[in-house]
Amino acid sequence: MKRGLWWDLMGVLVFVVIGRHSHHHGETLGGILSTWWPFAVGVLGAWTVLGLLHRTGMSLKDGAIVVVVTVALGMVLRVLAGQGTAPAFIGVACAFLYLFFGGWRLVSQRIAKR
């Protein structure tokens, strides 16, 4: 499995834990997993798209693709699972995930240039 995929999955996990904590939903393993899985599937779907496009997953553009696919697929799966979505939640998810996904990619690019 590609290194970048793990970073993206961990980014989603951080997003979920922070979100559940800030909304006082608790940090039980079951609660975290129930919130995490739709976005984790979204990340896997995004990396499948990157593979089909013959992309490495390491550029900022790739990060943007991962965000769009992750959030779109994650929100659809949340609705199908009876979990809520709201425009503000979608916006926060896009912003946080691009900062995280783009951030680690930017750091990786800077390190590679040295």
What are the pLDDT digits (tens) for 44-85? Answer: 999 999 999 999 999 999 999 999 999 999 999 999 999 988
Listed in sequence order, the DSSP H helices in the chain are: 3-22, 29-52, 60-80, 87-113
Poorest-pLDDT segment among 23-27, 33-37, 101-105: 23-27
Is 25 within the bounds of a domain? no
Task: Tell me the one-letter amino acid at 6.
Answer: W
> Does residue 90 carry a pLDDT above 60?
yes
For residues 60 and 106, the answer to whether their CB atoms sit within 8 Å is yes
The residue whose two tokens read 């699972």 is 81
Dihedral-angle region of residue 94 (phi above 0 means left; psi in -120 to 50 means alpha; beta otherwise): alpha
Is 27 within the bounds of a domain? no
Is 28 within the bounds of a domain? no
- If one counts the domains in the chain, the total is 1
Is 26 within the bounds of a domain? no
Q: Which domain holds residue 51?
A: 33-113
Tokens of residue 19, six digits: 């979100």
Is 15 within the bounds of a domain? no
Is 6 within the bounds of a domain? no
pLDDT band at 12 (very low <50, low <70, confident <90, very high): very high
* Model confidence, pTM: 0.91
Alpha carbon separation from 81 to 21, 34, 52 (Å, rounded): 21, 9, 27
